Structure 1
Amino acid sequence: MPDLDDTDLEILRLLTEDARRSYRDIGERVDLSAPAVSDRVARLKELGVVRRFTVDVDRSTLREGTPVLVTLSLDAGTVDRVRATLRDEEAVEHLFTTASGDLVFHARVPDPAVHRWLAESLDLDATVADVDVTLLANVDWSPSVGGTEFALGCAECDNTVTSEGVSARIGGERYQFCCPSCESRFRERYERFEESA
């Protein structure tokens, strides 16, 4: 797997600022031709670094609702199911899973009674051990590729993926691995999971 260089990081930074920026404009800023930028973006997509291009909509300008930050402490084994449910909820804008297994999300809830909306959206009694709701006054979202060392993490062991790493498409998704052994273990576990589903 090829390493990402400073030009790749600058392309990512420029796309983060404006995903509609033309390859010609990016090329002028990084001293490459538009086709060379296109090739690099295609490679970043293939590596799974760029998943999609999207629009950052300020929903507060489009509809009313109560902006909240919600933390759900969940019973063991329910995180994936509750996460999938929340991902499908139109009101949820950002969804995070903490290292301790809590789900934290930002939403613009259509019902001023946030707990009622949560009860209707989730089976609170069976899945959620504790709920913390904070009303928000303002939300700023500014993702950045700068400020930290950039490195891909192995999908199996979370070690840094170097130039000796491998990339594989498994179940329709692209994964990065630090070595062929990690890819093999991940693939075997994935196939066992698929068989049991």
Structure 2
Amino acid sequence: MRIPTRTGMVELDETDLHILQLLTENSRRPYNDIAEQVGVSPPTVSDRVDRLEELGVISRFTLDLDRSQISEGVGVLVDLHLRPGTVHDVIDRLAPLESVDHVYATADAHVVARATVDECEIHRILTDTLDLSQVVEYDVRLLIDSVWEPTVQKADAEDETPYDDPTAIPAGGASLGADGQ
């Protein structure tokens, strides 16, 4: 499977995809466990992960934190419609904020941020952080739920398995003659 990275397109084989799938399920999974499941040695897993980091396929290992459990505030999505040419400046101002989890830019000059804030403070945070002359309009939406489940899938997969299993029986079945053919 070829995927775009910071350095261009990179070819990932089934071993890379299997390692990535296991790491997306639990980035703290020991390399010994990954090696056993993938069928390679632990040093091979380590080398593969190092290579994937160098290529930019893996940018960091992190955890999925539920901020509502450790801080005051509510989850919100802030959708900012911006003036042309201001997207990167707004991203640079929002991303470092402690209350902001994710920042996304769209092709149509919007920046969407997911944050956990005191709902009475959202306007103050925006006015203190941003140059409001860059903002055409903004909308704040209260989140009631959020799901983040990254997966690794082959783009051209014909079935629902994230990687090929050479021992799997094809969807249409298989038959062998007495001579194994």
Q: State the TM-score, normalizing by the size of structure 2.
A: 0.76
Write the letter of the residue equivalent to 1:130: E
Deviation readout 1:66-86 (Å, 9 max, x if unpaired) = 211111011111111110000
- Alignment partner of 2:134 out of 104, 127, 140: 127
Q: State the TM-score, normalizing by the size of structure 1.
A: 0.71
Q: Does the Cα contact within 8 Å between 2:27 and 2:61 map onto a contact in 1?
A: yes
Q: How many positions carry a matched residue from both structures?
A: 149
Aligned to 1:42: 50
Offset at 1:111?
4.7
Aligned to 1:17: 25
* Residue 110 (1) aligns with residue 108 (2): no
- Alignment partner of 2:38 out of 30, 37, 42: 30
- Alignment partner of 2:149 out of 134, 142, 160: 142
- The structure that is helix-richer by fraction is 1
* Residue 90 (1) aligns with residue 98 (2): yes
What is the correspondence of 1:59-78 to structure 2 with a 5 Å cutoff?
Answer: 59-78=67-86
Offset at 1:4?
0.7
Write the letter of the residue equivalent to 2:105: T
Q: Does the Cα contact within 8 Å between 1:66 and 1:112 map onto a contact in 2?
A: no
Q: Does the Cα contact within 8 Å between 2:83 and 2:109 map onto a contact in 1?
A: no
Distance (Å, rounded) in 1 between the aligned partners of 2:56 and 2:153: 18
Write the letter of the residue equivalent to 2:29: R
Deviation readout 1:100-121 (Å, 9 max, x if unpaired) = 1210111001352422321122
Bigger Cα displacement from structure 2, 14-23 vs 1-10: 1-10
Q: Does the Cα contact within 8 Å between 2:68 and 2:74 map onto a contact in 1?
A: no
Provide closer, same or farther for how the CA distance between residues 149 and 44 of structure 1 changes in structure 2, counting only shifts above 3 A: farther
Name segments (4+ residues, structure 1) moved above 6 Å: none
Deviation readout 1:9-68 (Å, 9 max, x if unpaired) = 111111111111011100111101101111111110111101111122111110111211
Unaligned runs of 5+ in 1: 151-197
Provide closer, same or farther for how the CA distance between residues 49 and 149 of structure 1 changes in structure 2, counting only shifts above 3 A: farther
Deviation readout 1:104-155 (Å, 9 max, x if unpaired) = 111001352422321122121x1100101111112221122226459xxxxx
Instruction: Answer 1 or 2: higher relative contact order, Cα 8 Å, separation at least 6.
Output: 2
